[in-house]
Chain A
Amino acid sequence: MIQWIFILLSFTLIVWLGKILIVDREEIVASDYNPLTEEKMAEVSRGAILSADGKYLAYTDVAEDGSEIRRYPYGPAAAHVVGYIGRGQSGLEAILSGVLMEPSTLISQLQSWASEEKVQGCSVQTTLNIDLQSYIYDQLDGFQGAVVVSEPSTGKILALVSNPSFDPEAIVDDWEVIINDERGPLYARATMGLYPPGSTFKIITALAMYRNMPDWKLYSYECGGELLVDEQVIMCNDHRAHGYMEIEDAFAYSCNGFFGKAGIDMGWAALVGTASYVKLGNDFDFILDQNTSEMHLSETDVDSMVAQTAMGQGETLVTPFAMNMLTAAIANDGVLYQPYLVQAVTDAKGGVLRSVEPTIWGTVMTRPEADFLENLMRGVTEYGTASRLSDYPYEVYGKTGTAQVGEEEDSHSWFTGYTVKDGKVDIVITILVENGAETKQAVPLADAILSHFYGLQ
């Protein structure tokens, strides 16, 4: 019996050791307090981070005296994605630290031992279209905002821009300046920024109507420029009276009264139910840190609150990234591909060691639902609030938004939409410009970005 007790104890030890080495290992190795990370850095030359077309986004430059400097050729343009090292770590530099410090092959390990040189760590190829990313970053100059561009048919993230940004190479020298900057340059607005969705939320309200009102086709509203609920006035943009509206036109012209009224008629549960149906509050298992979108609406809320929420104000907050995912699902007939930013791990010479294949994350809506929304979004770009995008050689679908943030401040400007090229869904683009409703509107910005992307300038 005593033997068995100690045999049991010994096997507990063995199992526990195995557990540490298998389950806990990754977390412990990546700990900020791990002194061995620095030791490793002395032995392994950190691998590079590359764009989709193989341009360096980050690489280690070895000076003549053997000292190493981490270079970021595109500087602030991709800073929130690539991240930095030196003052802690962030972005892909932090998340992929283990991979970047991993000797790419046993052969290279042996070679470096033989030649007493540093081992070359693995490189990482991202899905970023760095040309597009830099262009967008330049376009956002002077404004605060975020742009997300993705490929819905695969889940690739082509651009993920947040402005203001910082220079990762100067992170150590300018640390004080950067963290004291009130605009928050370290804040990755594209994935972390929570904004009121404005009229882009009408996508969800419209879907809620489709799902909850059997006679949504017949639903109409006479817009006089404002809607009075609970003695509160909900105004249409610029107080414009849209007149008699059915859902297509109401969506295209973004009539607040129509959707506010529809929201009240459907009730809070339909809105909350649909938002959760399209997985609004999800993090989509994306590699970068992100805030999850939130929506607060309950039985106790008064009608005016329901109306406000239905037209995109209220207490709803979404990230540009989540809005992009919703749009991607519509573009792809309801099927959302797992968004990914890293497509391959390569050795120093570019030989692929591991690669990522597109996988389906989940079905967010049914095909008829996606078709229904696509039809509405077509109206927006053909004759509605984004008619500026109507004369493209490719089909463009979208929804604009103007999110009020206070009495004094200018509203945020939203655009989310996608293009179809030669009958196939091409890219999804989501734009948010903070306080840009008057000065830097999202639609002209989308126009510029799409023109650049398709080489139409």
Chain B
Amino acid sequence: MFQMTALVAKYVDLALILLFTGMGYYMYLKKPSSIVCKELFAYQTAIIILFNILSFVLIILREYHTAKTVEEAIESGILSEGTHFQTIRGIMLKMQQITEHFLPSWLRFSVVFTLLIYLVLLLGMYLLIHKLHRHTNRLLWNCVFMLMSIGFIVLWRLDQETARYQVYWLAAGFVVINVVMLFFHGRWIWNIPVWLFLLGSVGLIVLPFIFPNEAYGSLNWVYIKGLSFQPSEFVKILFAFFLAVIYTKNRKLYSVLVAGAVTGFMALVLLVQRDLGTLLIFGILAWMMTYDYVGKGYVLWGGLILVAVAGYAAYHLFEHVQVRFDIWLDPWEDVNGQGYQIAQSLFAITDGGFFGTGLFQGSPGYIPARTTDMIFAVIVEEFGGVFAIFVLLIYLLMFLFVMETGRRERNQFRRNLLVAFGILFMTQTFIIVGGVIKLIPLTGVTLPFISYGGSSLLSSFITIGIIEAVIRLYRIDREEARKHARQQAPARPGRGKGSIRPFEFDDPF
């Protein structure tokens, strides 16, 4: 019974994401009137809600299914009582006892609790956007919510504990996003001197050397007083700011040289920290930003040659780079050792095929780092390749949209910032998805908004918060300009000002 529901849900999910993405691209490409947009945004939101409801139904059914199986197992003596039903301790215990009184025995309190928090979060955020953060863009929010919803259900499917922590991180993220958006409401923030960003990024990135995290055994985590995080996730943002500021200057050669030097330093530190994924992101970001700034084709070709030379040198100088590269070329050589991760990813992907096994129907348990870096493989396995392609298209849509908003922005700093964040998102997505499907060597970075991880999620939320804040500033400016224009030149029927269009496609919010 449960399997059949999963089978049906699989196709419904596919239809939902198809509609969602279709509407998004329709709005992006056709730029219909604000009335149409408003309606489509509402439909998109409805789709997100439907997607979540469907996922909840599956989760609850699954709970029922498992509980029945466990019950049967206990009855038949295979499983002894007390080995399951982990519960939340402390204050919750009291709440739990009360709630459980009303719940059927097979439904665990923690399940209901987590789902409820998640639901409240979604609704709360939705209301906030409407009431508190007016003038922000709903297309971006919708995309973020859609990706988050997919991430939540996939994480739940993999491990409920992880999903619960993800919900806590989402809550933290929502707080952070509001703080960021309030923060960036002010104009003073755009006048911070460039060296502050530089100091921030360099300071943060060398932090793991000062406070190493021995528990994780890796060099890119920081451990300070019980709190561990990955600073490179936040350096990304500061680095993007740095590039955005330095490329507003008119002294082209000077700017490029400074940016190049800083990027080189960052790359070296990351290479030592063995964080090749972030290294790639930084490199590509700097490269693309420089191309955007200089505007000459030779930057692209020069960068390509530089990448090739640097890659060749790194391959011969650093063993871990070489290992990564060799696995990529032939993962089957050492399939139970170095190639294990990518091999399991490919097994999962091919198991899913174009239409997936259906939620809870696959066996993603073999994939290492399935909740973080490799989550895309799980999506392909259970939701199917077609669904995964639509997920990619959502990322692409977000990127294209951010770039478009960047293009119309007059303030050079804000414009650069939008472009930088757009590139940051898309590069990160490309690097991890390309790695998971063995298009490029696998390097560990997270899939924005979907992967589990506090640092990654917070950093993604900060980024999206800043993007929305910039959009809001643009709109406020535009509104003021309109008011101004109306006062200056009253009533000239039939003729609009060329610089101020009466309507822009992302108007409804």
Contact = CB atoms under 8 A, between A and B. Distances in A.
A8 to B, nearest CB: 10
B363 to A, nearest CB: 5
Contacts of B343: 31, 33
A16 B396 CA distance: 16
B229 interface: no
B335 A33 contact: yes
Interface of A: 1-3, 5-7, 9-10, 12-14, 16-18, 20-21, 24-25, 28-29, 31, 33-36, 39, 110, 113-114
Contacts of A24: 346, 350
Contacts of A34: 347
Given A12-B439, A13-B439, A16-B434, 16 more contacts: A2-B403, A2-B419, A3-B400, A5-B288, A6-B399, A16-B439, A17-B389, A28-B347, A31-B347, A33-B343, A33-B347, A35-B363, A36-B348, A36-B363, A113-B1, A113-B4
Contacts of B385: 17-18, 21
Contact of A114 (B1, B335, B353): B1
Contacts of B335: 31, 33
A66 B408 CA distance: 68
B389 A14 contact: yes
A17 B430 contact: no
B436 to A, nearest CB: 9
B437 A16 contact: yes
Contacts of B351: 29, 36
B404 to A, nearest CB: 8
Contacts, number: 93
Nearest to B295: A1
A2 B418 CA distance: 13
Contacts of B400: 3, 7
B113 interface: no
A29 B349 CA distance: 10
Given A2-B292, A2-B423, A6-B426, A13 B433 contact: yes
Contacts of B3: 113
B347 A110 contact: no
B334 to A, nearest CB: 11
Interface majority SS on B: helix, strand, loop or mixed? helix
A213 B348 CA distance: 62
A14 B292 contact: no
A102 to B, nearest CB: 12
A59 B277 CA distance: 50
Interface in B337-384: 343-344, 346-351, 353-354, 363, 366, 380
Contacts of A6: 396, 399, 423, 426, 430
A13 B433 CA distance: 8
A31 B344 CA distance: 11
A7 B396 contact: yes
A297 to B, nearest CB: 38
Contacts of A110: 4
Interface string B279-308: 000000000100110000000000000000
Contact of A13 (B348, B354, B434): B434
Contacts of A12: 434, 439
Nearest to A5: B288
Contacts of B1: 113-114
Nearest to B366: A35
Contacts of A114: 1, 4
A36 B366 contact: yes
Interface in B199-245: none
B213 to A, nearest CB: 31
Contacts of A39: 363
Contact of A9 (B380, B393, B430, B438): B430
Contacts of B457: none
A25 B430 contact: no
A87 B395 CA distance: 46
Contacts of B332: 31, 33
Nearest to A34: B347
B388 interface: yes
A20 B385 CA distance: 10
A21 B353 contact: yes
A3 B403 contact: yes
B143 to A, nearest CB: 14
Contacts of B433: 13
B67 interface: no
Contacts of B347: 28-29, 31, 33-36
Nearest to B419: A2
B350 A13 contact: no
Contacts of A16: 434, 437-439
Contacts of B336: 33
Contact of B392 (A13, A25, A31, A36): A13
A27 to B, nearest CB: 9
B355 to A, nearest CB: 10
Contacts of A29: 347, 350-351
Contacts of B291: 1-2
A101 to B, nearest CB: 12
A14 to B, nearest CB: 5
List 5 tightest A-B contacts by C-beta distance, closest first.
Answer: A113-B3, A28-B350, A16-B439, A25-B350, A33-B335
